[in-house]
Structure 1
Amino acid sequence: MTTLREVMLVDDEEDIRTIGNLSLGRVGGWQTVLAASGAEALEKA
């Protein structure tokens, strides 16, 4: 059974979120949830 590895990446800069998402997904095998602010992160948590 494969364990789902999930992480939330919160940053107000879209470029940083995009690069982080690609890096975490391709290299680390993580599924990422992206948020642009703390408030958005709390809504998605």
Structure 2
Amino acid sequence: SFETTLSEGLLFERRVFHSLFATDDQKEGMAAFIEKRPANFTNS
């Protein structure tokens, strides 16, 4: 983070956020939250 500009850092963060938002664990976490139950994460 010290070797990039703020705009480059924000772009990187946005890309990583979007890639992580498409995982099965993210979907399970959101479903568990909505259903008010513990999440069953599979690291996928």
Specify which structure has the higher proportion of helix. 2
**What band does the TM-score fall into relative to the shorter chain?**
0.3 to 0.5
Greater Rg by CA: 2
Query: Normalization by structure 1: what TM-score?
Result: 0.36
If asked which structure has higher relative contact order (CA below 8 Å, sep 6+), I would say: 1
Structure 1 or 2: larger strand share? 1
What TM-score results when the alignment is normalised by the length of structure 2?
Answer: 0.37
